[in-house]
Amino acid sequence: MLVRAVEASAFGTNCWVLASGPGEECVVVDPGFGVVPRLRDVLTDERLRPAAVLVTHGHADHVWSVTPVCGDAGSPVAVHVHPDDRYRLTDPLATLEPQLRHMLAAQFGPEDRWQVPERVVDLPGAAEPVTVSVAGLDLTVHHTPGHTEGSTVFATGGTEPLLLSGDLLFAGSIGRTDLPGGDQAAMTRSLRDVLPRFGDDVTVLPGHGPTTTMAAERAGNPFLRALAAGRAL
């Protein structure tokens, strides 16, 4: 499998590109602030054609470039989002403090620059994981609320399994729950109920920071160790 990362220009958000190989269709995951020029370079270098944009959740740093990325494909491709976070695509900046809104507007353009994506598709909203096929890839969708109401992770199988963990799990840490829509109890349930489904050999592609593995996180992540020991987060 081909996996490429493009780091956003703000907040260090990882935009991931997955394809079965060069010259194929691909999925673009979490295109944040300022990724479009470098993402275009990756797509050109690897001769990739976006078939879908997936977002792990609706925060602005994960969706800001959704509309131009969808439009770059020629006929607009759809952005896929969990229905509980779909409302965030109306205005991803709505929940930000005014000072942060102004800072982002100064760096990335006027606040009214945002446009709702032309095509929005709801990810499976079921509590149990559902497998979807896109761009020749089978991705298992897990609803993992806590960071936001509609936070979602995507997993691949095969001999080199991957987990696109969004802001659920990072190397050595987990997502915050003190932003609007965050829920500490839901985050605990998501970590406790979903992560045990993934083996130690799974490579974790997080929403921020370096890649890691489930083995490394089980061994060294203090939050996962606390859960394993039955302690509260």
pLDDT band at 41 (very low <50, low <70, confident <90, very high): very high
pLDDT in the model for residue 114: 78
For the chain, what is the domain count? 1
The two tokens of residue 37 are: 């020029």
Instruction: Say whether pLDDT at 59 is over 90.
Output: yes
Q: Is the pLDDT of residue 46 over 90?
A: yes
Confidence (pLDDT) at 102: 79
Mean pLDDT of 165-186: 97
Q: What is the mean pLDDT of residues 10-29?
A: 97
Q: Pairing between strand 137-143 and 130-134?
A: antiparallel
- Residue with the larger pLDDT of the pair 104 and 123: 123
The position carrying tokens 């770059």 is: 72
Q: What percent of the chain has pLDDT over 70?
A: 97
Average pLDDT, the chain: 93
User: Domain range for residue 134?
Assistant: 2-228
DSSP string covering 14-41: EEEEEESSTTSEEEEE---TT-HHHHHH
Q: What is the mean pLDDT of residues 134-161?
A: 96
- CATH number of the domain that 183 lies in? 3.60.15.10
pLDDT surpassing 90 at residue 165: yes
**If DSSP states are collapsed to H, E and C, what string results for 114-182?**
CCCCCCEEECCCCCCCEEEEECCEEEEEEECCCCCCCCEEEECCCCCCEEEEECCEECCEECCCCCCCC
Chain segment 197-233, per-residue pLDDT in tens = 999 999 999 999 999 999 999 999 999 999 999 888 8
Q: ∠37-43-44 over CA atoms, to 5°?
A: 90
pLDDT in tens, 105-146: 777 766 557 788 999 999 988 778 999 999 999 999 999 999
Tokens found for residue 117: 């994506």
Break the chain down into helix, strand, coil percent, rounded to 5.
Answer: 30, 25, 40
User: How many CB atoms are located within 10 Å of the residue 106 CB?
Assistant: 10
Residue 66 covered by a domain: yes
Domain membership of residue 233 (yes or no) is no
Element (H, E) at 137: strand 137-143
Predicted local distance difference test score (pLDDT) of residue 73:
63
17 belongs to a structural domain: yes
